[in-house]
Amino acid sequence: MSKLKFKILKKIWNARVGEINLNWVRLTTPIFMPVGTKATIKGLILDMLQDPKYIWDLPIINLILANTFHLYLRPWDQLIKDAWWLHKFENWNWLILTDSWWFQVFSLWLNQNSRGDYQATDEEKEFSHEVKIKLTEEWVKFNSPYDWSKHFFTPESVVDIQCNLWSDIMMVLDVCSPTDCDKATIEKQMQMTHRWAKRAFDHLEKKYDKVRWVLFPIVQWWIHTDLRAQSIDFLSQYARDWIAVWWVSVGESKELIREIVEFTWPRLPDDKPRYLMWVGTPEDISHAIENWFDMFDCVLATRLGRHGMAFSDDGNLTIKNAKYKSDFSPLKDNCPCFVCRNYTKAYLHHLIKEKEMLGGILLSFHNIVYLNSILEKWKKEKLWISWDT
């Protein structure tokens, strides 16, 4: 029996509002999940996500992400378990999703090898070691980008690591196929991911009824729609609580990503929440909502904020541009966030130009709240949801 309870409150055309109940926490979808890779959302105190002083009249944010790969390596999942698990460790009393580890290793490897169009993240740029990977049917071996130490992951061990973290929502170990793979190789890796998924769910099944955790399968397989269809057919049997979709790989066009979203959504189980991974621009989230997806995450909101960019109704604002030096208006009129209610573009421009860390913090927070305000607008205006529903 599923521990995650989901019901659809309202739907119109290909969009819907739902309610999720898990571990005594209620979520209303669609929802954007801020990314706290290393047990922190960079620069933010987590209480800001729930304090009316900072988010005004928006519903509180009560689901965030952390990363299995990074927390396993540093500070170590066993240490976090000894600290009474991740919730206590980072002082967060709500839900935590720990995402799949493979993309982090894959993207680090790309950064140091062939993909000239791939843009490295801040975390990737700090690593001085080359990441090496050996993939077999039984396990994947990799060296730590921090200290060159060698590690093995299996579908079972990744479940156990996330159990040590006490994640509310866990993701399976999957293979993230590089875009330069031929289709035959991608199909082999898809079949391996399916076998790994079975191993992960068989491993968790032994204790599923005794613990609070739920585990999600991940549908991917790049631009090959026939493989995506196969993957959906196979992995839907494991969508006891939820199903996740990884869009394509890294660096594809917005048009291609949207084609995959539109192909995928009608084939997913319609009685389960759908999680579209790594989607975080206002326009992409809106498109995904229109294609019956419920949950989204991306580092883009905070990454752009740290680099002096803010979401707005008129596109991304590059606050360091000279035109904002004497602009005493907020980033967005009627934005509920603390930043727009208290600071002007001119002040934010000053902080960014002076490389003051507060500038990136304020812009990051605005971007997170802005995305959540878009979702609330969808619920209340386009889907006509009243909070009395």
Of residues 202, 194, 273, the one with CA closest to residue 235: 194
Q: What angle do CA 327, 332, 336 make, to 5 degrees?
A: 130
**Which residues are CB-contacts of 292 (< 8 A; sequence separation ≥ 6)?**
14, 15, 16, 265, 268, 270, 274
List the strands of the sheet with 5-12, edge to edge: 5-12, 15-22, 25-29
- Confidence at residue 280, expressed as pLDDT on a 0 to 100 scale: 87
Q: C-alpha distances in angstroms, 76 versus 73, 97, 109?
A: 5, 17, 22
Is pLDDT above 70 for 123?
no
- Confidence at residue 220, expressed as pLDDT on a 0 to 100 scale: 80
Is pLDDT above 50 for 114?
no
Q: Which residues are catalytic?
A: 99, 297
The distance from CA 206 to its chain's CA centroid, rounded to whole angstroms, is 28
Name the least confident of 37-46, 54-63, 109-118, 144-153.
109-118
- Confidence at residue 104, expressed as pLDDT on a 0 to 100 scale: 60
The distance from CA 222 to its chain's CA centroid, rounded to whole angstroms, is 18
- Confidence at residue 247, expressed as pLDDT on a 0 to 100 scale: 65
- Confidence at residue 349, expressed as pLDDT on a 0 to 100 scale: 98
The tokens for 135 are 């993939």
pTM of the prediction? 0.89
Of residues 29, 8, 124, 40, the one with CA closest to residue 364: 40
Name the least confident of 224-233, 336-345, 347-356.
224-233
Phi, psi of 26 (to 5 degrees): -105, 130
Q: How many residues does the chain have?
A: 389
Q: Identify each DSSP E strand in the chain by its residue range.
A: 5-12, 15-22, 25-29, 31-33, 63-67, 95-99, 133-135, 140-143, 150-153, 169-171, 214-216, 218-219, 243-246, 274-277, 295-297, 309-310, 317-318
Pairing of β 150-153 and β 169-171 = unpaired
- Confidence at residue 249, expressed as pLDDT on a 0 to 100 scale: 52
Helices 254-264 and 282-289, axial angle in degrees (round to 10) = 20
- Confidence at residue 91, expressed as pLDDT on a 0 to 100 scale: 95
> Which tens digit of pLDDT belongs to each residue from 125-150?
444 446 677 888 998 888 888 888 89
Cis peptide before 75 (omega within 30 of 0): yes
Name the least confident of 113-117, 292-296, 374-378.
113-117
Higher pLDDT, 203 or 128: 203
**Which residues are CB-contacts of 209 (< 8 A; sequence separation ≥ 6)?**
1
Is pLDDT above 60 for 388?
no
Average pLDDT over the chain, rounded to an integer: 87
Q: C-alpha distances in angstroms, 356 versus 41, 349, 352, 363?
A: 18, 10, 6, 12
- Indicate the pLDDT class of residue 103, thresholds 50, 70 and 90: low
- Hey, what domains does the chain have and what are their CATH numbers? 5-298 (3.20.20.105), 311-389 (no CATH)
**Can you state the percent helix, strand and coil of the chain, rounding each to 5?**
40, 20, 40
The tokens for 338 are 């603390």
> Which tens digit of pLDDT belongs to each residue from 267-310?
999 899 999 998 888 999 999 999 999 999 999 999 999 999 99
Q: Is the Cβ–Cβ distance between 228 and 261 less than 8 Å?
A: no
- Confidence at residue 115, expressed as pLDDT on a 0 to 100 scale: 40
**CA pair distance 161, 172, nearest whole angstrom:** 11
